[in-house]
């Protein structure tokens, strides 16, 4: 192992720069040359790369987003596109690549490895949705969850002042991690998550019960699901049932940006080091993650083929915490 590349792919997540920084410093400590591949798989196909040294990653640990930029490239899901990427890897003389991203990133890496005998590939989970199998937490989740909690706290002031019902939509297209944890931390009255069938009747009844015991406002946290903006339709139906005025707030991409929290900086640093060490140990085709406080390597296929379950302890406690 003499020369490695680092790329970020898919949605940006706070803490990716901490991971890049840690990976670069670990590589340099092991006498490896490092390049940064810009714009994810788009840059990999095009051979768009820049040298990474200590100067390049200095004063970046506190930055949100990714200094390498990112993209989602449909060409990489064609065999032709992946073969072009493999040829680019050979031209750049890479022995290994650290891929920071989500399940789509690792799916693409699995396909690349199947199509071509190329560089060793090790992944690091970066996703504010926290939906990647093989790690308890993904880089970016903690920052996004704290952003959602801060929004809930602010909106609760207005909800209480005006005696209103608020629906706060957070990200989470296929998984409710963000909605569940921010809902508990923000004291929400109800949740809508992809793991459970939406019941307008149940939501309405629970909110009505709260009003009967003296509550004058309520907050429902809604995971965006496969249809961002779904909270508007849910709010309309619940409001009609309760005959109660409601408002909708969609947090959207606010959750992606901003300085990473301490937890995301530390997690990004830990996994950046672990990814490079995995490459130097001869590992490939796996993602490094943290499970139960320990580092673990999970095959790429498992990261996107297996469904990561919500924490059942948290699901169990939410109903009586929200009463």
Contact partners, residue 63, CB within 8 Å, separation at least 6: 17, 259
What does the block give as tokens for 26? 């670990």
Angle at CA 195, nearest 5°, toward 192 and 197? 65
Q: For residue 220, report the phi and psi dihedrals to the nearest 5 degrees.
A: -115, 125
Active site residue 142: no
N-term to C-term CA, the chain? 57
Annotated active-site residue in 129, 131, 142, 264: 129
Contact partners, residue 263, CB within 8 Å, separation at least 6: 137, 142, 143
Burial label for 269, CB within 10 Å (0-12, 13-18, 19+), is buried
Rg of the chain, C-alpha, whole Å? 21
- Crossing angle (nearest 10°) for helices 230-242 and 200-212: 50
- The DSSP code for 309 is P
Tokens 């209103």 appear where?
Answer: 164
Q: What is the DSSP string of 232-277?
A: HHHHHHHHHHHT--EEEEE-GGGGT-SPPPHHHHHHHHHHHHHHHH
- The DSSP code for 7 is E
Annotated catalytic residues are 129
């Amino acid at each position: 192992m003499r020369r490695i590349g680092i790329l970020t792919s898919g949605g940006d997540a706070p803490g990716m720069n901490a991971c890049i920084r840690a990976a670069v410093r670990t590589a340099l400590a092991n006498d490896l040359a490092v390049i940064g591949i810009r714009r994810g798989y788009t840059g990999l196909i095009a051979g768009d790369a820049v040298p990474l040294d200590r100067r390049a990653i200095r004063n970046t640990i506190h930055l949100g987003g990714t200094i390498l930029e990112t993209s989602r490239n449909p060409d990489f899901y064609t065999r032709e596109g992946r073969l072009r990427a493999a040829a680019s890897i050979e031209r750049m003389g890479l022995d290994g690549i650290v891929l920071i991203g989500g399940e789509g990133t690792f799916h693409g890496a699995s396909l690349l490895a199947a199509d071509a005998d190329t560089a060793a590939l090790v992944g690091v989970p970066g996703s504010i949705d926290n939906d990647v199998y093989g790690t308890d937490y993904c880089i970016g989740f903690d920052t996004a969850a704290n952003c959602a909690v801060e929004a809930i706290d602010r909106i609760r002031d207005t909800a209480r002042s005006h005696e209103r019902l608020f629906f706060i939509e957070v990200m989470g297209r296929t998984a409710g991690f963000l909605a569940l944890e921010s809902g508990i931390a923000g004291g929400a009255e109800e949740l809508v998550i992809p793991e459970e069938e939406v019941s307008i009747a149940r939501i309405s009844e629970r909110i009505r019960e709260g009003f009967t015991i003296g509550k004058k406002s309520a907050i429902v946290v809604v995971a965006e699901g496969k249809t961002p903006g779904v909270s508007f339709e849910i709010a309309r139906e619940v409001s009609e049932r309760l005959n109660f005025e409601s408002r909708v707030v969609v947090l959207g991409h606010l959750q992606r940006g901003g300085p990473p929290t301490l937890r995301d900086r530390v997690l990004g640093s830990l996994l950046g080091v672990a990814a490079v060490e995995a490459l130097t140990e001869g590992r490939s085709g796996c993602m490094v993650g943290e499970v139960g406080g320990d580092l673990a390597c999970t095959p790429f296929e498992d990261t996107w083929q297996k469904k990561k379950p919500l924490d059942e302890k948290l699901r169990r406690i939410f109903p009586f915490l929200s009463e």
